[in-house]
Structure 1
Amino acid sequence: MDHAFVEHGRDYSFLVEARMGKDPGRHQLQFTHVTDLVYTTAVADATWGESWGEEFVNYQSWLDAGEPEGYVWGTCWSLAWPGMSAIEPSSKAAEWSSRLGRTMYEAKIQTDRFCISLVFHSIRTRKISNETSTVSSGVTPLPSPGS
């Protein structure tokens, strides 16, 4: 739903929305003591070219333009797939652990829009709300086996 460095600039936060699992709703994942962060696009080069115009950054403008082919940035959220993974072993985390004298970890967060790799010390989580309307309107679950 959203991601950015928090106001003080040390920690990096993700706002995620899940409609399935043990605790559906919106949750904040805050990675603390971030020492290294790399952001890379996951959108293909050709799709970038198709999606360059300003009509792609506002959903209503994209609809008004006749829904042209390309990536619609104006949905204002990313599909968290393939998702989050720990990088183990991590040479970056080992280097930062040695430099700081604290245990550091590395994770990768991949979506349909971007990939973020970051080195951090810990993760804090908290539930923000029970809201699931965005992901519910944009994602259709696969049927259960045998359905």
Structure 2
Amino acid sequence: MRNRTGHFDEYATYQALAKNRDKVALVNPLDELFKWLPEADFAVLEHRFAKHGRDYILLVEDSLGSNPGQHEIVFTQCVKAECETRVRDEVWLKSWSDEFTDTERWTSAGEPDGYVWGTNWSVAYPGFRAVLDSAHAAEWSRRLGKQMFETTLETDRFFLRLVFHSIRSRKTSEKHETISQVTHRL
């Protein structure tokens, strides 16, 4: 749709589509991602803001999807990133010391009971979820005049909530040995 000055207005277009949801399917950037990456059962090797601070980056490893390997997924124009632990309180207390942050130190300590942070990755389960009718995305869409989306990602280690504009991805490696230790094709 065009605004009063004749320029294309993404937010107005999104609003019009949202009002006619029963007639028009909105395209969520996650739909493209899920064409090659399963929603769950992949490894999250790293997650962080890009150095410039605008985009949020996930480094994942997959062995079950249509393009196995390591991939960088960039959530562009990320206006909200919230991360919270999924490790239970009593497990945190058992896993407090630094020996749990390094697998070799943990092994040398006799493999004490607790969460081994030193594996340096977590398994995505239940994984990604597109948050449809997101109040956060709607508010940011209104504020910025751009179509925004919300997703959550849950792993054994953390719960992540992102509000972003689009997604880019690229394959960085053919490696999938890490996640292949715990997931197998049937």
Structures share fold, TM-score greater than 0.5: yes
The alpha-carbon deviation at position 20 of structure 1 amounts to: 1.7
Residue equivalent to 1:53: 97
Q: Which of 122, 125, 131 is equivalent to 1:78?
A: 122
AA partner of residue 141 (structure 2): S
Report the counterpart of residue 141 of structure 1 in structure 2. Answer: 184
Greater Rg over alpha carbons, structure:
2
Answer yes or no: is the 8 Å Cα contact 2:127–2:153 preserved in 1. yes
- Please, which runs of 5 or more residues in structure 1 have no aligned partner? none
Structure-1 separation of matches of 2:172 and 2:179 = 15
CA distance in 2, matches of 1:37, 1:77: 19
3-state SS of paired residue (2:84): strand
**Normalising by the residue count of structure 2, what TM-score does the alignment of the two structures yield?**
0.74
Q: Encode CA deviations 1:15-66: one digit per residue, 9 max, x unaligned.
A: 0001122110001110000111111100001100010011000010000011
CA RMSD of aligned residues (A): 1.0
Q: Distance in 1 between matches of 2:142 and 2:67?
A: 36
Cα deviation, residue 141, structure 1: 2.6
Task: Tell me what 2:25 maps to.
Answer: none
Shift of the alpha carbon at 1:140? 4.1
Q: What percentage of residue pairs aligned between the two structures are identical?
A: 49
2-structure distance, mates of 1:82, 1:56: 24
Give the corresponding residue for 2:151. 107
Indicate yes or no: 2:132 matched with 1:88.
yes
Runs of 4+ in 1 over 4 A off after TM superposition: none
